[in-house]
């Protein structure tokens, strides 16, 4: 069958390199798609199916990222001070004070509806005013306590891993935006590398039988173009100079730029004030946070002589104790509501991003690479083999077309 190429040298010269270039481009594009999609696993059985490498490895990547960057926050108190505790206090009061009467009414109606309905309006107003006057200093002290114990109250790895486990699409977004230039390079370079390999294949056409040359050549193109692209992104690890030019892995060369994008997205999507506060109250160390909240709310009730007397006279000491617990539980339940404000979260995000960025830019090249590559490095061979297999399939199609 090799006679086909003798009769069609001109076609051979253009056809094989062009197909090889398209195979290189197509397999690299597919490798990127398989890295990110589908976000949720799609398949027929446990063994037949696929989920994007990044979504599938999001928990592992989260743990590595925390270990390499967030765990290096160092003094959490300094981070808290940069967030400006007075602004946090102001935000809580801004959200809570307008609803304070509503919160009190909800608790009283649920536990002592008859008492509250029969209490004169003037007395209820006095209780509202008392709580409103006491709340600011209580919240200020509460926020200060949180700052002192933040390192023990917030488990950043738990927060980060749980969020990415529930929303793997967030890691996809972070990788796509922070590595946008490298991802484009992988796809585009596939065409160039494929073209070069295709030209080498033309030289071998005269001496090798077509029946195996094109499929094997297709496999080589699909496999090698993926391998070359990945290695040019991460190798060499440290800068090397050749003829006055600095040569380093493309991704590593952009460490400062990538760190800025990565940090901004993590601060906006994952380590928001809202999510940190929710982790503090309902996470692994939530019992400690709830105890702090209750400790600061209790004095408001104990110092409200009017509420104490009225309740004890009406329902006894046991009823008053029950009411105190209900009000403390209510305080815990609504403790994260002030931070649902998207504008407040957006306003505070740059502060957190600045800290993460400083940590990432200070990493060595090896440490910086380890933030992103190790978790899916074990999948690279699989992706390259898929690329090679598809290249071989295209080679078989070429052979049928030529003969």
Q: What is the mean pLDDT of residues 298-305?
A: 65
Q: Is 144 exposed, middle or buried (0-12, 13-18, 19+ CB in 10 A)?
A: middle
**C-beta separation of 235 from 191 below 8 A:** no
Domain count of the fold of the chain: 1
Helix (H) / strand (E) element for 50: namely: strand 49-50
Cis preceding-peptide flag for 236 (omega within 30 of 0)? yes
Q: 209 lies in which domain range?
A: 3-402
Give the Cβ contact number of residue 114 at 10 Å: 10
Quick check: 111 pLDDT over 80? no
Residues 6+ apart with CB under 8 A from 152: 285, 288
| pLDDT grade for 5, boundaries at 50, 70 and 90 | very low
Name the DSSP class of 70. G
The alpha helices in 272-341, defined as continuous H runs, are 273-282, 286-303, 305-333
Q: Which of 1-10, 122-131, 322-331 has the lowest mean pLDDT?
A: 1-10
Compute the average pLDDT of residues 182-197: 86
The arithmetic mean of pLDDT across residues 131-160, rounded, is 81
Is the CB of residue 336 less than 8 Å from the CB of residue 37? no
Instruction: State the average pLDDT over residues 149-153.
Output: 74
Question: Which of 192-196, 314-318, 332-336, 349-353 shows the lowest mean pLDDT across its residues?
Answer: 314-318
Buried b or exposed e, range 33-55, using 16+ CB within 10 angstroms:
ebbbbebeeeeeeeeeeebbbbb
Written as six digits, the tokens of 30 are: 């597919």
Position 4 confidence tier, pLDDT thresholds 50, 70, 90: very low
Q: What is the pLDDT of residue 316?
A: 57
pTM, entire model: 0.73
Q: Mean pLDDT over all residues of the chain?
A: 79
Taking 80 as the threshold, does the pLDDT of residue 170 lie above it? yes
């Amino acid at each position: 069958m090799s006679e086909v190429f003798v009769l069609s040298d001109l076609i051979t010269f253009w056809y094989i390199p062009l197909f090889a270039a398209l195979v290189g481009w197509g397999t690299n594009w597919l490798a990127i798609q398989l890295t990110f999609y589908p976000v949720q696993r799609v398949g027929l059985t446990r063994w037949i199916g696929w989920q994007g490498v990044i979504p599938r490895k999001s928990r592992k990547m989260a743990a590595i990222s925390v270990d390499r960057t967030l765990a290096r926050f160092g003094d959490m108190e300094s981070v808290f001070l940069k967030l400006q505790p007075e602004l946090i206090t102001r935000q809580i009061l801004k959200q809570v004070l307008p609803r304070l009467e509503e919160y009190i009414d909800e608790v009283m109606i649920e536990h002592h509806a008859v008492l509250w309905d029969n209490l004169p309006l003037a007395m209820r107003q006095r209780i509202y005013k008392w709580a409103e006057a006491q709340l600011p200093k209580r919240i200020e002290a509460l926020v200060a306590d949180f700052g002192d114990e933040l390192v023990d109250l917030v488990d950043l790895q738990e927060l980060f891993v749980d969020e990415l486990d529930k929303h793997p699409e967030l890691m996809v977004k972070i990788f796509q935006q922070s590595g946008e230039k490298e991802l484009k390079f992988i796809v585009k370079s596939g065409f160039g590398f494929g073209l070069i390999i295709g030209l080498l294949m033309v030289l071998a056409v005269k001496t090798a039988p077509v029946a195996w040359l094109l499929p094997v050549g297709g496999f080589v193109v699909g496999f090698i173009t993926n391998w070359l692209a990945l290695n040019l992104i991460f190798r060499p690890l440290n800068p090397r100079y050749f003829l006055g030019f600095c040569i380093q892995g493309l991704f590593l060369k952009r460490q400062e730029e990538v760190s800025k994008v990565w940090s901004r997205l993590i601060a906006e999507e994952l380590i928001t004030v809202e999510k940190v506060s929710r982790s503090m109250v309902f996470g692994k160390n939530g019992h400690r946070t709830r105890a702090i909240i209750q400790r600061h709310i209790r004095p408001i009730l104990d110092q409200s002589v009017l509420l104490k007397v009225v309740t004890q006279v009406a329902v006894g000491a046991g009823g008053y104790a029950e009411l105190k617990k209900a009000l403390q539980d209510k305080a815990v339940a609504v403790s994260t509501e002030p931070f649902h404000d998207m504008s407040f979260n957006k306003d505070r995000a740059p502060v957190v991003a600045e800290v993460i960025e400083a940590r990432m830019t200070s990493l060595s090249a090896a440490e910086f690479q380890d933030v992103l590559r190790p978790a899916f490095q074990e999948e690279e061979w699989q992706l390259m083999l898929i690329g090679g297999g598809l290249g071989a399939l295209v080679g078989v199609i070429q052979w049928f077309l030529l003969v």
